[in-house]
Amino acid sequence: MNGVVIIDKPAGLTSHDVVNQVRHMLHERSVGHLGTLDPLATGVLPLVVGNMTRLAQFYTSSEKTYEGVIRFGFATDTYDAEGQPVGAVQSVSLLLEQVRQLAAHFRGVIQQMPPPFSAKKIHGVPAYKLARKQKAFTLKPVQVEIKEFEILTAENERATFRARVASGTYMRSVAHDMGQHMGCGAHLESLRRTGLAEFGLADAHTLDELAVAVTNDSAEDLFVHPRRILPDLPCVTATEEMSARIRSGRTVNLPELSRAREVKVFHGQSELIAIATRVAGTLFHPKIVLGVQPQTADR
């Protein structure tokens, strides 16, 4: 079983928990995800199954979109609602325009300090492991990009938002830093990922829906059609001869796509067999091969 399936991750599970459940459901060892979600967060979690795990390299810098709630009045040690409060709780009554003006300072390319409870590595060890053991360590700010950050509502101590960010951006840190600017503390109360790269909530299925589909032997009906994957790359449908060359890792001539740097190569309408890279002129070489050459009697 090979493909991409989008899970609407529930709160309370890690991304790895979801991967393990899907491995068990599909009886498929090769399952991975294209972008971690914190246990608190819900929403779009793309999973790559079977030989499609080789596509993960194309999604390491994928843009994400989120909706969520920032709770002002106190910070937490994890920067979200799962952590322990830091400092006394303050009474807050937010003004919409005030929060919107503050949010404007976080748009664009900024320096951001990752949360102490994060997967950032300190001498090869994830920061959250050190934080849990209460060991001292120093994180360094990193450059991130917040392309859109809109405050939708602000009432009492809570503000709702919508954001579009580059890979590596922590909305938990945004919430924490906004609380520091306000002088009252804040943390991320809830977060829902609404999109990652070309995948959105409209593509997503719950774990229960996937389980039912597996029972009905129709799990692949929930997979994203391969021609929708990596939409910026042109598609080419290979002949039998071209498919054989591609599957065996050899170059092929694709004159109609001579200007493209990379292309998706299909056998038929729905079998994605390779991502090929132009090496010279109209010659393309498979960067990754997603299927082996079928064995035939005359080979």
State yes or no: is 17 an active-site residue: no
Question: SS3 for 72?
Answer: strand
CB atoms within 10 A of CB 281: 10
Phi, psi (5° rounding) for residue 268?
Answer: 75, -160
Residue 136, exposed/middle/buried by CB under 10 A (0-12, 13-18, 19+)? exposed
The Cα 79–Cα 99 span in angstroms is: 18
**Catalytic pick among 38, 80, 177, 203:** 38
The Cα 266–Cα 252 span in angstroms is: 13
Closest CA to 253 of 270, 278, 227: 278
CA dihedral in degrees (126, 130, 131, 136; nearest 10)? -120
The Cα 187–Cα 175 span in angstroms is: 5
Q: Residue 53's Cα: distance from chain center in Å?
A: 14
Indicate which residues carry an active-site annotation: 38
